[in-house]
Amino acid sequence: MEAILDSLDSKTVAQLIVDAALDKKAIDIHMLDVRELTTLADYFIICAGASDRQIRAISEGIRQDLKEAGLDLYHSEGTADSGWVLLDFGYVLAHVFSPDRRSYYDLESLWQTAPTVVRML
């Protein structure tokens, strides 16, 4: 993890994820600064795709763009078919949801005291 942070800080990594999600037409993208609220991560990126196919494209696009930037994925969970994919890049976590799963988990409410760094509808 230190190698990643030596070359790119966590906010830069989070912005790369936002850019990758935008490239794949993710909807309602939020970047939350959770540094003061948890030791789990510095930033959460939350976004949605309109279909299983788009969720898959968004998550694969994020993986690919960050790999090209020299960053490895530490862990992932979920599948596009389940309506939720979690991508763990160390200090930055990306959540790619279907609209109904996003509404169900409602991470924005759970982390409502976290400052919003980016919000793109």
pLDDT at 13 over 50: yes
- 22 lies in which domain range? 2-120
The pLDDT assigned to 66 comes to 96
Segment 46-62, tens digit of pLDDT: 999 999 999 999 999 99
pTM: 0.90
Segment 67-102, tens digit of pLDDT: 999 998 999 999 999 999 999 999 999 999 999 999
Q: What is the CATH number of the domain that holds 88?
A: 3.30.460.10
Task: Please give the tally of structural domains in the chain.
Answer: 1
Per DSSP, the residues of 12-35 read HHHHHHHHHHHHTT-EEEEEEE-T
**C-alpha pair distances (Å), 20 with each of 59, 82, 114:** 9, 21, 22
